[in-house]
Structure 1
């Protein structure tokens, strides 16, 4: 029944995808809602619980695919050429979001510091899919789209080590083996770097060459080999995936380009399937089990943590207030947080169930809020869509010193005013070439 449900919802998502691109509808919300309606505690169409094997297996594969494709979005050259604004969001915004969320969890909910820091790490990554109308709108300043793309593509992987460390710290002392943890991390990084480099060098040699038809499969083969080796050696799968994606982007731009669209489609399928399963774990009874302090925490995690963190991060950054407000608001909690929450649930730590309830509530609220406001905020950047045609014509006539209706003014009513500055012009007249020129649109997701 799970496969039948996924196939039916996927077909419906495809059929309404064009409409979703123009409205507040979101196909991600569709899968989450379908899982909620069909789950065991609602209608019971399919029986899925947190300890069902398919939940952990699907979440593992989906996060591996997402981190691999996320890593491919930015190579080291891209980061060097366009680092300033994304660097602020990642270097300052991510740890500050983690810290503010942890403080709220500790003082509002009453979690211990290790568990509070863990939930802060889980909820610090962002997902661009739930704000895709903003990221994919060309009327939105390029530097803002680039900032959100790079940040959301990188912060899943950057948050992962914090999740691993704080999860280990929250475990009882007999389960805390720092040596094994360090070995898993190092092995994951080594496999994620060595395998892609070796594969790319082999293809560049005289003995081997991929045909155009098989080029997209090169990235898939590299990803599968990294996954298999990481599982065989008990390395950290997710760090291996993220490192492999960055390595391919850095050393194999041709392989990256061939695999990019194909890989994103694969990751999207896994992500939507995992969201369907995640929705099945949520029910009215599940939400009723959360205390009022938990609801207050979820609201603070969405409306306070990221806005405060990015406000501090972007002080004297050159972003105007409208761009800064959009970046502060669009920190949707997405798929990585879902899987990190499931990892905690499977870990067996004392407060795993409470942490999962808080994470799940925050993610559900975030998906509903952010996916229903991205189109609205994106339109705020499109002055032409908000301004009547007659208004633009009247303003041009007045600026030329002619009264309305004067002869000789033949400019069409829908022509942009001559004094309109480019969308990505920085305050003060300069342009953000360094923060928007490289791959600003290369990885912009379609609205899902």
Structure 2
């Protein structure tokens, strides 16, 4: 534990020191933690020796995904979904299942997996990670509808993909109708806890008897999240659907709680995510990267450059998005942290194809993190008009205005 804490603190300090540079270049903090984990793991230096079945790996991955889904849900209250549903609805209603289907077809025909296992791979790799699209979402020169589309889609699709992962995993494990019924109860109980606990807590805080001070306001949503986690554990409800539902409920009924917790919550989720990425990198060894063969690497490439782009192209036919906007949405379908945890869940499940599914998922995620995290700045600059125009363009444009606009020309200079 001391070794892991030292490694994480050291890499975190390095990430903080280079974060400003990372915001301006292709350097990525997520890739930094992934590569650091690989270098420190058994595949290289052997400083961090972890196994997929280690309790620490499972616990950290569980807590990290809970925090990520809770904060993701908080980005998309029902009011946000109602006012901005047209484009994200296409991406989620059509793009997500189409991405799942195309990815599953590739896994079946290229890797020889059975259809259930292939659909499981498709469900794991269907969600996108908002971290790698941050350069677009945070760039004011990117059209607002595109930024909103990427933000809402990436915030919702982790939670939407989860039921598919759980159902396909249950079928792959040979579950009968009784077990599938128990799975449905687990998922439903998770949603119930995720809605009821935040709603009751917010309503209590809005009564005359209770009022949170400014100092403690950010802890309100944290307390709600911890209570949802504890009740989910105690009742065996699905923690991840509970987290996602809780986030949406807070965003819907507690605008003040959402606003006060937003920055604090994102930092907590980011810490958990980076720690889990460090451990995930330590699980990646040269033998794992080589065990998938050329078919595995070919599948990883096709999953990134064919499945998502094809699904987005079909989903946005007649949407009014420009070619440039569609290209940006199509490329920024990175496989991120949710896919990491879903892959670990499959590995721990004991299904016959669990090891192969995890290896394929791991290779695809590694390739995605390296490619997408190094191209977000480049794609964001497509929308920077000043970068697109040569230096002489501004002068020529002012000369064409003629003498009647000299005052405006001087003002521009």
Does the 8 Å contact 1:160/1:239 carry over to 2?
yes
Which residues in structure 2 correspond to 1:306-325 (within 5 Å)? 306-325=308-327
The corresponding residue for 2:284 is: 282
Partner residue, 2:125: 123
- TM-score where L is the length of structure 1: 0.89
- 1:351 is matched with 353
Separation in 1, partners of 2:270, 2:251: 19
- Distance in 2 separating the partners of 1:309 and 1:180: 33
Pick aligned residue for 2:106 from 104, 107, 126: 104
- Matched residues in 1 for 2:366 and 2:410: separation? 46
Is 2:108–2:114's contact at 8 Å kept on the other side of the alignment?
yes
2:211 alignment partner, SS class: coil
The within-5 A match list for 1:32-431 is 32-173=34-175, 177-398=179-400, 400-401=401-402, 408=406, 411=409
Segment of structure 1 superposing worse, 140-149 or 287-296: 287-296
Contact 1:41/1:283 (8 A) holds in 2: yes
Q: How many residues align?
A: 411
Q: Deviation of residue 286 (structure 1)?
A: 1.3
- Name the one with the larger helix percent: 2
**Cα distance change, pair 411–176 in 1 and its aligned pair in 2 (3 A):** farther
CA spacing shift, 1:173–1:181, aligned 2, 3 Å? closer
Partner-residue secondary structure (3-state), 2:357:
helix
Equivalent pair of 1:125/1:156 in contact (CA under 8 Å): yes
Contact kept? 2:202, 2:254, Cα under 8 Å: yes
Distance across 1 between alignment mates of 2:100 and 2:248? 24
Distance 1:100 1:411 in 2: 53
Structure 1 stretches of at least 4 aligned residues deviating more than 3 Å after TM superposition: 173-176, 406-410, 412-415
Displacement after TM superposition at 1:172 (Å): 2.5
- Which runs of no fewer than 5 residues in structure 2 stay unpaired? none
Structure 1 residue runs of 5 or longer lacking an equivalent are: 416-448
Aligned counterparts of 1:324 and 1:159: Cα–Cα separation in 2: 22
Output the aligned Cα RMSD: 1.6
CA–CA distance in structure 2, aligned partners of residues 412 and 146 of structure 1: 36
Deviation at 1:41, TM superposition (A): 2.4
Query: Residues 100 and 412 (structure 1 numbering): CA distance in 2 closer, same or farther, change over 3 Å?
Result: farther
Contact map agreement 1:71 1:246 (CA 8 A) in 2: yes
